[in-house]
C-alpha cells in the first residue's frame, strides 16, 4: 500500500493547496499613512523605500507572486523591523509573509513566520489567528511533527464557538471556519502518518457521522486504510460490508475498492477464504468503476462550471468542487494505470474457491474470464488452470471446449502444448478416442520440442489402442521409442508396444517385444505384466508347454500380481489341454474367492474336469460346496443342475428333483438370489409326461400355500409364476390367472424382471391394462439393464398406440430401437413405428425405420416383406412410382414364400408401371401374377387380370417379364 501512503503525504500537503484558494488577502496595514498607492516598482530593486517595499509586497501578494512578495516583506522586516515607528507595519506584514511561504510550500519558513505572526503584540485579529493556527498545524504535519500538528489542529477546532458552522454570517466574518472539516480529517491523517493506525481508525469512525457526505466518504476511505494498516482485517471487512450499499456515493470509490481488493487478498493469503470471497465479490469491474467515476467527474465538472459561472456563488463551494474534480480525476488517472485489474480480481476469487477444493465454482469464474476478458497474462494463466479444473471434476466436454478456446485466444502462449495435452486427455476420457488421437498427433507435429510432445506421442499410441487401431498404436509406440529412447515414459511405451502386438493377435511378435522389454528393464514396473502377457501369447499360440512353464514362473515371481487369478485359469486350461488334470484342478482351486469372476470360472472348470474324468461324486460334492458357499451367485442354478445331473446319471430322478426343491425352499424367499428363478424351468424338465407334470404342478401349489402360510411372499410369488409357466401352453387362461394373482405379491424394486414381464403381459391380456402398463413402466424404472426391456418398450409403445397416444407411442418405440439389441420383437416394433410415422406424414422417418428393419438379422421374413411393401407404398404416396417398383419387385424376387405379400406386391408394381406410363411393363407384371396357379385364389390376382385386360390382354409368351429380367 505504498501508493496509498504517498497519497496520505499528499493529504498532508492538501492543506497547502487549500491556501491557494482560501487564504485571507493581506490586511491593509492599519497604521500606515506612509503606505501609498504608488505603482509597483521592480521587485528586485535593492534601493526601495519602506513605502515602496510595503506597497510592492502587497501588490505582488495580490498578484500571486508569492516568492517576490515574501522577499519584499522579508526585506522590509530586515531593514525596518527594529525601527519603533515601523512596528505597526511589520505586525501587519507577518500574516501575508507567512501565507506567502505557505503558498510556496516552504513549510519550515512558513512555520517560523506563523509563529512570529502569532506572537505579535497586540495580537492579530481573530480571523487571521484562526487561519494561522490552521496553517501552523499543516506546517507541523509537513515537518513530520504529527503529534504537535494534531494538537494544533485540535486547538484550531476550539477557536470556533459551537454551532457557528451553521451560521452564514459567522462564516462571512471568520472564513477559516470552512476549514473545520478539513482540519478534522487532517487530525486523523496525523494519526495515520504517526502510524497510530488503531487510533486513526477509531478517530475516523467517531467523526464520520458529523461530516457532510463528501467528507464522510473521505473519512471512510481513510478509516479503511487505517484498519488495514492496523491489521484489523475483520473490522475492515465490517466496514466494507456496511458501506457497500452506499458505496456508489463515495467520492474516492476507486480507492475504497482498491483497498477492498487488498483486504480480500490478505484474507486469501491467510486462507480465510470465505472472508476473501465476501470482499472480492463486492468489487466492481474496472469498466464499471471507470464508468461510474467518469460520470461523477462529468457531473462535478458541470457543477463546477455552473458555480464558476455564477459571480454571486459561494467561493468555498467553487473551491470544494474544484478539489473534488481534481481528486476524482487523479483517481481515474491512477486507476487507469493499473494493468489487469479485472483479471486479477477474478483470479483471486477463483483461487479462493480452488483453495476450498471447489473446482466447479473456480472453473465457472475462470471460464467467464477466458470467454469474456481481453487476453492478458493473468487470463492466460487462469485458462490453463480452467482446463485442469474441469478435468478435476470430470467435465470433459467443458475441458475440451476451454482448451480449444484457449488455443484460439492465445495461439502464441507457451502453455499451448500443455493445454493441448490436457485437451487430448479429456477427449480420451470422454471416450472420443479419434479426437484424442488427432489432438495428440497435432501436438507432436506442431510442438516437437515441447516437454509434452513425448507424452502426447505416448498418449496417441494409448488412445489408438483404446480405439482398437492396434497396428497404428504399435507404430506410435515404436516411433516413441525411436525418438525418445531416454524419456521417462520410454519404458511404458516399450511395454504397451508389446501389448499392441498381443491385442493385434501377433502373438509371436508380442512375445519378442516383451522379451526385449524384460531384457532392457530389469527393475521395470511392468515386468509382471510382461511375463503374464508372454505366457498368454504362448497359450494363444497353443504352445501349452511354454505357457505352463511361464505361468508357473509368473506366479512364483509375482505372487501378489493382479493377474494371478487370470493366470491360474490360463494355467488350469493349459494343464487340462496337456492332460494334467489334477494339476489343472489344483490350479483352478487356487483362485481366490475374492476374485469372483475368475473364482466361479475356476469352479465350473473343475466341475467340467470331474465330469470328463467321470468322478461324479467329486463333481457332486464340488457343486454342493459351491452352492452352499455362494448361494447368491447367479451360477447357483448351474451348480444345482450339475448336482441333479449326477443324480440322474445314477438313475435317481427323485434325488435329482429333491436337490432342486431343496434349493428352492432354502433360497426361494430371498428376492436377491435371482438364480432361483432359473431352477424352475430346469426342474420342470425332470417331470416328464402328463402325470409327472401334474405332480410338479401340485407340488408347486403346495409350495405356494406353505409359503403364503409362512408369509414368504417371494417364495409364493415364484411358485405361482412357475405354475403359470408350466401351464402356459396347456392352459393359457389359467396361466394368466395365476400370473395376475402373482401381481399382488410382486415388488417392483426387488422382483426379478423376468417375472415382472410375464405378470405385466398377463395383466394386459386379462384386461387390466393400466396395472399391466404400470408394471411395465416399473420394470423399466427399476431394471435399466433387464433383458426384458424390449418386451416392456414394445408393450408400452403398442398400448399407447392403441390408445391413440401417438407421440407417447413413438417415444417408446424410439427407446426400443435405441436401447435394445438382438430382440426378436425388432421387426414387429419397427413396423409399428414405421406405420405410425407414415400416418403422421413422416415419410423419411418411416423409410429409415423400415430400412433398419430390413438390415436387422432378427427381423422375420414376413416382417421384411411387409417392410418392403410399405416402403413401396410410401414412395407411391409421394408420387415416386419409379422408386416404389424396385421395393415391390424385391418382395416377389426375394420373399416368394410370403404369398399374400407377393400378390399385393405384383398388383402394386403393375399399378406403379401404369403410373409411369409404362404399359408394357405393367401388362407383363399383371400377366406374371395371373399366370401363377397357386395365386389364383388371391383377390389381387383377380384385380391384376382386370387391369391386364384393360391394357390389351396377355402378351405373347416369348418376351421376358420384368421379374425375370
Partner 1 sequence: MRTLSQWSLVLGHWFLLMADSHAQTPLGLDTLFMASGEKSVGKLAGFDAQIYRLQKSLSPLPGAPAGAAPIFATVTIPRVNVVHIEFGPDEDRDKKLKEATPAQLTEIEALWKQFEPWLPIAKSPAGDIGVVYGDLLLRSGDPANAQKALALFARIEKESWDETDTVLAKQGRLRAMVATGSAKEAVVEATALAKISEDPTVLIEANYILAEAADKDLRKLLEENPRWEEDIYVIPERHRLYNEALDLYLNPYLFFGSEIEPAARGLWGAAGIYQFTGETAHAAEVSRDLVTIYPGTTYAALAQKFLDGLPPEFKNQDNEKEAREENSDSPKPNEK
- For partner 1 (CB under 8 A), the number of binding residues is 32
From candidates 819, 851, 900, 931, binder to partner 1 by CB under 8 A: 819
- Please give the Cα distance from 357 to 854 (Å, whole number): 54
Residue from 223, 272, 647, 838 touching partner 1 (CB under 8 A): that is 272
Coil, strand or helix at 686: coil
**360 touches partner 1 by CB under 8 A:** yes
Residue of the chain from 277, 373, 416, 854 that contacts partner 1 (CB under 8 A): 277
Joined together, the cell numbers standing for residue 238 give 465490517
Identity of the residue, 818 or 957, whose beta carbon is nearer to partner 1 in the bound complex: 818
Q: Which residues 6+ apart lie within 8 Å of 67 measured at CB?
A: 100, 104
- Name the one range near partner 1 by CB under 8 A: 9-17, 356-364, 553-561, 719-727: 356-364
* Residue 278 binds partner 1 (CB under 8 A): yes
281 binds partner 1, rule: CB under 8 A: yes
Query: Cβ closer to partner 1: 440 or 793?
Result: 793
Of 773, 803, 807, 804, whose CA–CA distance to 791 is shortest?
A: 773
Least Cα distance to 771 among 781, 761, 785 occurs for: 761
Q: Which residue has the cell 517385444?
A: 513
Length of the chain: 965
What the block records as the C-alpha cell of 807 is 407421440
Kindly give, in sequence order, each residue whose CB lies less than 8 Å from that of residue 771, ignoring residues fewer than 6 positions away.
743, 763
How many Cα neighbours within 13 Å face the side chain of 492?
12
- The site map against partner 1 for 291-320 (x = CB under 8 A) is x-----------------------------
Per-position DSSP letters for 57-111, written without gaps between them: HHHHHHTT-HHHHHHHHHHHHHHHTT-GGGHHHHHHHHHHHHHHHHHTT-HHHHH
Determine if 274 is a binding residue for partner 1 (CB under 8 A).
yes
* 365 is a contact residue toward partner 1 (CB under 8 A): yes
Selected from 21, 41, 273, 883, the binder of partner 1 by CB under 8 A is 273
Q: Cα(717)–Cα(743) distance, rounded to whole angstroms?
A: 8
Q: What is the number of other CB atoms lying within 10 angstroms of the CB of residue 479?
A: 15
368 or 936: whose CB is closer to partner 1?
A: 368
- Number of helices (H) and strands (E), helices first, in the chain? 49, 0
Chosen residue from 5, 144, 781, 877 binding partner 1 by CB under 8 A: 781
Of 72-80, 274-282, 406-414, 709-717, which segment contacts partner 1 by CB under 8 A? 274-282
The number of CA neighbours under 13 Å toward the Cβ of 618 is 14
In the complex, the smallest distance separating the C-beta of residue 784 from partner 1, rounded to whole angstroms, is: 3
- Choose between 118 and 435: whose C-beta lies nearer to partner 1: 435
DSSP state of 197: H
Segment lying near partner 1 (by CB under 8 A), choices 67-75, 152-160, 280-288, 821-829 = 280-288
Instruction: Pick from 395, 455, 736, 828 the residue near partner 1 by CB under 8 A.
Output: 395
Q: Which stretch binds partner 1 (CB under 8 A): 202-210, 272-280, 671-679, 881-889?
A: 272-280
Place of cell 470360472: 601
| CA end-to-end span of the chain | 96
- Which is closer to partner 1, CB of 395 or CB of 469? 395
- Which residues touch 588 (CB under 8 Å, ≥6 apart)? 568, 569, 572, 602, 603, 605, 606, 609
Helix/strand/coil for 364: helix
Interface segment toward partner 1; rule CB under 8 A; list 19-27, 40-48, 118-126, 269-277: 269-277
Q: What is the DSSP string of 486-548?
A: TSTTHHHHHHHHHHHHHHTT-HHHHHHHHHHHHHH-TT-TTHHHHHHHHHHHHHHTT-HHHHH
- Name the 3-class secondary structure at 730: coil
**Is residue 803 a contact point for partner 1 (CB under 8 A)?**
no
Smallest separation (angstroms) from partner 1 to the CB of 395: 7
Is the Cβ–Cβ distance between 689 and 722 less than 8 Å? no
From the CB of 821, what's the least distance to partner 1, in Å? 12
Q: How far is it, in rounded angstroms, from Cα 119 to Cα 127?
A: 15
Q: Given the rule CB under 8 A, which of 25-33, 266-274, 311-319, 712-720 is the region that contacts partner 1?
A: 266-274
Tell the smallest beta-carbon distance from residue 217 to partner 1 (Å): 18
Q: Does 368 bind partner 1 (CB under 8 A)?
A: yes
Q: Which is nearer to partner 1, 819 or 931 (CB)?
A: 819
* Nearest to partner 1 of 226, 365 (CB atom): 365
Which one among 79, 112, 165, 361 touches partner 1, defined by CB under 8 A? 361
* CB count in 10 Å sphere of residue 415: 17
CA dist 680 and 662 (Å) reads 12
Q: Tell me how far, at minimum, the Cβ of 355 lies from partner 1, in Å.
A: 5
Strand (E) or helix (H) holding 8: helix 2-22
Nearer to partner 1, 345 or 722 (CB): 345
Q: Tell the smallest beta-carbon distance from residue 282 to partner 1 (Å).
A: 5
Chosen residue from 282, 527, 534, 924 binding partner 1 by CB under 8 A: 282
User: Least distance from C-beta 598 to partner 1, angstroms?
Assistant: 23
- Rounded Cα–Cα distance for residues 352 and 273 (Å): 5
Complex with partner 1: residue 343 or 930, whichever CB lies closer? 343
Q: Say whether residue 288 binds partner 1 (CB under 8 A).
A: yes
Nearest alpha-carbon partner for 101 in 87, 86, 117, 89? 117
Among residues 94 and 395, whose Cβ is nearest to partner 1?
Answer: 395
Cβ at position 934, least distance to partner 1 in Å: 47
Report the nearest approach of partner 1 to the CB of residue 385 (Å).
15
**Smallest distance from partner 1 to CB 684, Å:** 31
Minimum CB distance to partner 1, residue 756 (Å): 14
Distance CA 731, CA 638 (A): 29
Q: Give the C-alpha separation, 717 to 681, whole Å.
A: 15
Q: Residue 461: which residues within 8 A CB-CB, separation 6 or more?
A: 473, 474, 476, 477, 480, 493, 496, 497, 500
Stretch that binds partner 1, among 317-325, 605-613, 780-788, 792-800 (CB under 8 A): 780-788
Rounded-to-integer distance, Cα 578 and Cα 536, Å:
16
Q: How far is the CB of 281 from partner 1 (least distance, A)?
A: 3
Part in contact with partner 1 (CB under 8 A); list of ranges 649-657, 686-694, 719-727, 776-784: 776-784
Q: Give the residue, chosen from 364, 466, 489, 686, that forms a contact with partner 1 under the rule CB under 8 A.
A: 364
SS3 of residue 271 by DSSP: coil
Stretch that binds partner 1, among 126-134, 273-281, 535-543, 727-735 (CB under 8 A): 273-281
Tell me the window of 139-147, 228-236, 277-285, 322-330 that interacts with partner 1 (CB under 8 A).
277-285
According to the binding rule CB under 8 A, does residue 443 interact with partner 1? Answer: no
The answer to whether 173 contacts partner 1 (rule: CB under 8 A) is no
202 binds partner 1, rule: CB under 8 A: no
Residues in 235-264 that interact with partner 1 by CB under 8 A: 244
Question: Under the criterion CB under 8 A, does residue 27 sit at the interface with partner 1?
Answer: no
Q: 406 CB contacts (<8 Å, ≥6 apart)?
A: 370, 380, 383, 384, 386, 387, 413, 415, 416, 419
Residue 784 within binding range of partner 1, rule CB under 8 A:
yes
For partner 1, which is the closer residue by CB, 361 or 931? 361
Residues 6+ apart with CB under 8 A from 677: 718, 721, 752, 754, 755
Residues that bind partner 1 (CB under 8 A): 244, 270-275, 277-278, 281-282, 288, 291, 349, 355-358, 360-361, 364-365, 368, 395, 781-785, 815, 818-819
Amino acid at each position: 500500500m505504498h501508493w496509498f501512503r504517498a497519497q496520505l503525504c499528499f493529504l498532508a500537503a492538501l492543506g497547502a493547496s487549500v491556501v491557494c484558494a482560501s487564504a485571507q488577502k493581506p490586511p491593509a496595514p492599519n497604521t500606515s499613512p506612509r503606505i501609498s498607492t504608488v505603482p509597483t516598482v521592480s521587485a528586485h530593486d535593492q534601493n526601495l523605500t519602506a513605502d515602496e517595499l510595503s506597497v510592492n509586497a502587497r501588490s505582488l501578494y495580490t498578484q500571486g507572486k508569492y516568492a517576490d512578495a515574501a522577499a519584499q516583506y522579508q526585506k522590509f522586516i530586515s531593514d525596518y523591523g527594529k525601527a519603533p515607528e515601523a512596528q505597526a507595519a511589520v505586525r501587519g506584514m507577518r500574516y501575508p509573509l507567512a501565507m506567502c511561504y505557505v503558498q510556496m510550500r516552504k513549510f519550515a519558513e512558513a512555520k517560523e513566520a506563523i509563529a512570529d505572526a502569532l506572537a505579535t503584540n497586540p495580537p492579530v485579529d481573530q480571523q487571521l489567528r484562526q487561519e494561522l493556527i490552521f496553517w501552523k498545524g499543516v506546517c507541523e504535519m509537513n515537518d513530520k511533527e504529527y503529534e504537535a500538528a494534531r494538537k494544533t489542529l485540535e486547538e484550531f477546532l476550539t477557536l470556533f464557538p459551537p454551532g457557528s458552522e451553521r451560521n452564514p454570517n459567522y462564516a462571512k466574518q471568520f472564513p477559516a471556519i470552512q476549514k473545520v472539516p478539513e482540519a478534522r480529517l487532517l487530525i486523523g491523517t496525523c494519526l495515520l502518518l504517526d502510524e497510530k493506525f488503531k487510533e486513526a481508525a477509531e478517530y475516523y469512525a467517531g467523526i464520520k457521522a458529523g461530516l457532510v457526505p463528501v467528507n464522510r466518504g473521505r473519512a471512510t476511505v481513510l478509516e479503511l486504510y487505517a484498519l488495514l494498516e492496523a491489521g484489523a482485517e475483520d473490522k475492515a471487512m465490517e466496514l466494507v460490508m456496511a458501506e457497500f450499499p452506499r458505496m456508489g456515493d463515495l467520492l474516492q470509490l476507486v480507492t475504497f475498492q482498491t483497498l477492498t481488493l487488498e483486504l480480500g487478498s490478505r484474507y486469501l493469503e491467510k486462507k480465510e477464504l470465505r472472508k476473501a470471497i465476501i470482499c472480492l465479490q463486492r468489487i466492481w469491474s474496472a469498466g464499471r468503476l471507470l464508468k461510474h467515476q467518469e460520470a461523477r467527474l462529468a457531473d462535478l465538472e458541470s457543477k463546477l462550471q455552473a458555480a464558476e459561472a455564477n459571480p454571486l456563488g459561494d467561493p468555498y463551494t467553487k473551491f470544494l468542487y474544484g478539489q473534488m474534480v481534481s481528486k476524482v480525476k487523479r483517481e481515474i488517472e491512477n486507476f487507469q494505470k493499473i494493468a489487469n485489474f479485472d483479471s486479477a480480481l477474478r483470479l483471486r476469487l477463483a483461487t479462493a474457491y480452488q483453495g476450498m477444493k471447489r473446482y466447479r465454482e473456480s472453473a465457472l469464474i475462470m471460464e467467464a474470464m477466458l470467454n469474456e476478458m481481453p487476453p492478458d497474462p493473468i487470463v492466460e494463466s487462469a485458462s490453463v488452470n480452467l482446463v485442469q479444473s474441469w478435468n478435476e471434476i470430470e467435465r470433459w466436454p467443458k475441458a475440451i471446449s476451454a482448451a480449444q478456446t484457449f488455443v484460439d485466444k492465445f495461439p502464441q502462449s507457451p502453455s499451448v502444448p500443455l493445454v493441448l495435452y490436457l485437451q487430448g486427455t479429456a477427449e480420451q476420457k470422454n471416450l472420443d478416442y479419434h479426437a484424442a488421437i488427432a489432438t495428440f498427433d497435432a501436438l507432436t507435429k506442431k510442438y516437437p520440442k515441447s516437454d509434452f510432445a513425448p507424452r502426447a506421442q505416448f498418449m496417441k499410441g494409448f488412445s489408438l489402442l483404446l480405439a482398437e487401431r492396434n497396428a497404428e498404436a504399435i507404430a506410435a509406440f515404436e516411433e516413441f521409442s525411436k525418438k525418445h529412447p531416454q524419456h521417462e515414459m520410454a519404458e511404458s511405451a516399450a511395454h504397451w508396444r508389446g501389448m499392441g502386438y498381443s491385442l493385434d493377435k501377433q502373438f509371436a511378435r508380442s512375445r519378442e517385444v516383451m522379451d526385449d522389454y524384460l531384457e532392457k528393464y530389469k527393475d521395470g514396473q511392468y515386468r509382471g505384466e510382461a511375463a503374464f502377457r508372454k505366457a498368454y501369447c504362448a497359450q494363444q499360440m497353443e504352445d501349452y508347454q511354454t505357457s505352463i512353464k511361464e505361468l508357473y514362473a509368473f506366479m512364483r515371481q509375482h505372487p501378489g500380481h493382479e493377474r494371478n487369478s487370470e493366470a491360474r485359469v490360463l494355467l488350469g486350461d493349459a494343464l487340462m489341454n496337456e492332460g494334467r488334470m489334477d494339476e489343472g484342478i489344483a490350479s483352478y482351486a487356487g483362485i481366490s474367492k475374492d476374485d469372483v469372476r475368475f473364482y466361479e470360472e475356476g469352479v465350473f472348470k473343475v466341475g467340467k474336469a470331474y465330469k470328463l474324468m467321470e468322478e461324479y461324486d467329486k463333481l457332486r460334492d464340488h457343486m454342493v460346496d459351491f452352492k452352499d458357499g455362494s448361494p447368491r451367485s447367479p451360477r447357483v442354478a448351474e451348480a444345482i443342475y450339475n448336482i441333479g445331473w449326477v443324480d440322474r446319471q445314477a438313475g435317481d430322478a427323485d434325488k435329482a428333483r429333491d436337490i432342486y426343491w431343496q434349493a428352492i425352499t432354502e433360497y426361494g424367499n430371498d428376492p436377491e438370489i435371482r438364480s432361483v428363478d432359473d431352477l424352475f424351468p430346469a426342474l420342470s424338465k425332470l417331470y416328464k409326461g402328463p402325470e409327472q407334470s401334474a405332480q410338479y404342478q401340485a407340488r408347486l401349489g403346495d409350495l405356494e400355500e406353505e409359503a403364503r402360510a409362512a408369509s414368504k411372499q417371494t417364495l409364493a410369488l415364484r411358485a405361482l409364476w412357475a405354475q403359470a409357466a408350466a401351464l402356459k401352453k396347456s392352459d393359457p387362461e389359467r396361466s394368466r390367472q395365476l400370473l395376475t394373482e402373482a401381481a399382488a405379491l410382486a415388488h417392483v424394486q426387488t422382483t426379478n424382471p423376468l417375472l415382472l414381464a410375464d405378470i405385466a403381459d398377463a395383466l394386459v391380456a386379462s384386461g387390466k391394462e393400466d396395472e399391466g402398463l404400470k408394471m411395465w413402466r416399473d420394470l423399466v424404472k427399476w431394471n435399466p439393464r433387464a433383458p426384458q426391456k424390449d418386451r416392456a418398450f414394445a408393450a408400452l409403445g403398442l398400448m399407447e398406440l392403441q390408445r391413440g397416444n401417438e407421440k407417447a407411442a413413438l417415444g417408446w418405440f424410439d427407446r426400443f430401437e435405441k436401447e435394445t439389441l438382438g430382440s426378436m420383437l425388432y421387426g414387429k416394433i419397427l413396423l409399428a413405428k414405421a406405420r405410425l410415422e407414415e400416418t403422421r406424414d413422416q415419410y423419411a422417418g418411416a423409410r429409415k425405420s423400415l430400412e433398419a428393419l430390413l438390415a436387422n438379422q432378427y427381423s422375420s421374413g414376413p416382417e421384411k416383406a411387409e417392410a418392403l411393401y410399405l416402403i413401396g407404398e410410401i414412395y407411391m404416396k409421394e408420387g415416386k412410382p419409379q422408386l416404389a417398383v424396385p421395393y415391390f419387385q424385391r418382395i416377389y424376387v426375394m420373399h416368394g414364400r410370403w404369398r399374400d405379400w407377393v400378390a399385393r406386391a405384383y398388383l402394386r408394381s403393375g399399378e406403379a408401371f401404369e403410373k409411369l406410363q409404362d404399359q408394357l411393363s405393367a401388362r407383363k407384371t399383371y400377366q406374371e401374377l395371373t399366370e401363377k396357379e397357386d395365386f389364383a385364389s388371391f383377390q389381387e390376382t383377380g384385380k391384376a387380370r382386370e387391369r391386364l385386360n384393360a391394357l390389351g390382354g396377355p402378351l405373347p409368351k416369348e418376351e421376358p417379364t420384368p421379374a425375370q429380367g
